[in-house]
């Protein structure tokens, strides 16, 4: 029996989006990122999934891979649509992020 809340991929995706926006504001990720896979150039994007699950009181279970992959697909669509791009400061842009390999 599972003792986890019944949380859908949309809730996980929303939590991930909030974390990505925070990383954009903090300059870890540029707002020009337009795909989930591209996030890996700047951060370990899989951490967004893990942290979202934890924030929602979930643990990663093999049976939930389809749900988690659906959340990633939702975030990928959100990034591709540019829905994360908005003014973030007085200049209207986020600080330039540096790829993690260049740090």
- Per-residue pLDDT of 51-92, as tens digits, reads 999 999 888 777 888 999 999 999 999 999 887 776 444 444
Residue 94 falls within a domain, yes or no? Answer: no
- Considering the entire predicted model, what is its pTM? 0.78
Q: How many domains does the chain have?
A: 1
Within a domain: residue 4?
no
CA-nearest of 88, 94, 86, 74 to 30 is 94
Nearest Cα neighbor of 93 from 25, 22, 23 is 25
Domain region containing 15: 9-84
pLDDT digits (tens, 9 = 90+) for 35-44: 999 999 999 9
Residues comprising the chain, all counted: 103
């Amino acid at each position: 029996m599972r003792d986890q809340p019944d949380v859908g991929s949309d809730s996980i995706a929303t939590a991930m989006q909030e974390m990505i926006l925070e990383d954009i504001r903090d300059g870890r990720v540029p707002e020009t990122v337009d795909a989930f896979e591209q996030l890996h150039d700047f951060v370990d994007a899989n951490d967004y999934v893990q942290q979202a699950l934890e924030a929602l009181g979930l643990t990663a279970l093999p049976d939930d891979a389809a749900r988690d992959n659906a959340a990633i697909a939702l975030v990928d669509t959100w990034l591709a649509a540019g829905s994360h791009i908005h003014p973030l400061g007085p200049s209207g842009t986020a600080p330039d992020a540096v790829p993690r390999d260049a740090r």
